[in-house]
Structure 1
Amino acid sequence: MSSLIAVRIETDEGAVPLLAQMSYSVDDPYAVQADFSDGLTVLASWRFDRQMLAEGVHRPVGEGDATFRPHRGPSGDEVRIGLRNGGDGRGGHAVLFADAGALRGFLDRTYAVVGDGDEFLDLDKLLEEFLAR
């Protein structure tokens, strides 16, 4: 399942609109995949912990590479997403803002598929796939 959510990134020059393609799969029930694009090109892809993202709608959570917290924006309730990329040696950070209602709607649909606490990861299948590589 996936949803397209409008986000904006804050830069020194001002706000730039982007799209976030949020995806969820029962094959990885703990994660949400987020692909950020300008509408044509995927600029960055991130995997977020689903529970942490859900909590970030209501309270500040996260440290390190990804943080989430509620934010009151110009058009209503938002979620502030802080991203830091230090793994590639170049560093860098971004601050994005997503509509809280759209994000909650997406998360509600993921919890309708796999409820909170009902996540299951087939470790035997994962190990089999890993060893096949």
Structure 2
Amino acid sequence: MSASVLIAVRLDAPRGGVPLLARFSYDAEDPYVVQAAFFDGPTTLARWHFDRQMLAEGLHHPVGEGDVAFSPHTAADGDELRVSLRRYGVQGQGNAVLFVEARALTGFLEQTYAVVGAGEEFLDLDTLLEEFLAR
């Protein structure tokens, strides 16, 4: 089972926000992960994998450090999630700040909890290790 949704996001830029689309996806086969692909028209700009619990907590208080950080943000037209992304090793490029409408993200997270409930995540490490060693 899986869940997927398109959400309008805003890329923070020096001359104002740049509207983009993001596809947030969740699959029971990888129960701790939310995948996000960011688009400008037909072009995929980036793909990131987020920890589902961290994403949910970021709606209420700042979490994360290093590559990814989330924090609540209040905008004129409603609550948002501030997403800070960093790519190390890229000189002067690769850092981005995005804003995602909190209500849309909350709705998506509710869909993911219908697939795999919070605290019910399970990863079969024995099978994963067997598959890895078989390669």
Q: TM-score range by the shorter chain?
A: over 0.9
1:1-80 aligned at under 5 Å gives the runs: 1-80=3-82
CA distance in 2 between counterparts of 1:14 and 1:132 reads 50
Unaligned residue ranges in structure 1 (runs of 5+): none
Aligned positions, number: 132
Unaligned residue ranges in structure 2 (runs of 5+): none
CA distance in 2 between counterparts of 1:36 and 1:131 reads 33
Aligned-pair identity in percent equals 64
- Structure 1 runs of 4+ with >4 Å offset: none
Deviation of the 1:125 alpha carbon: 2.3
1:121 aligns with 2:129: no
Q: Secondary structure at the match of 2:83?
A: strand
CA distance in 1 between counterparts of 2:85 and 2:74 reads 19
CA distance in 2 between counterparts of 1:132 and 1:7 reads 41
TM-score, L = length of structure 2 = 0.92
CA distance in 1 between counterparts of 2:130 and 2:22 reads 32
Tell me the residue number matched to 1:99.
101
How well do the aligned residues superpose, as a CA RMSD in angstroms? 1.2
Q: Secondary structure at the match of 1:62?
A: strand
Deviation of the 1:129 alpha carbon: 2.7
CA distance in 2 between counterparts of 1:101 and 1:50 reads 16
Deviation of the 1:131 alpha carbon: 2.7
Deviation of the 1:51 alpha carbon: 0.2
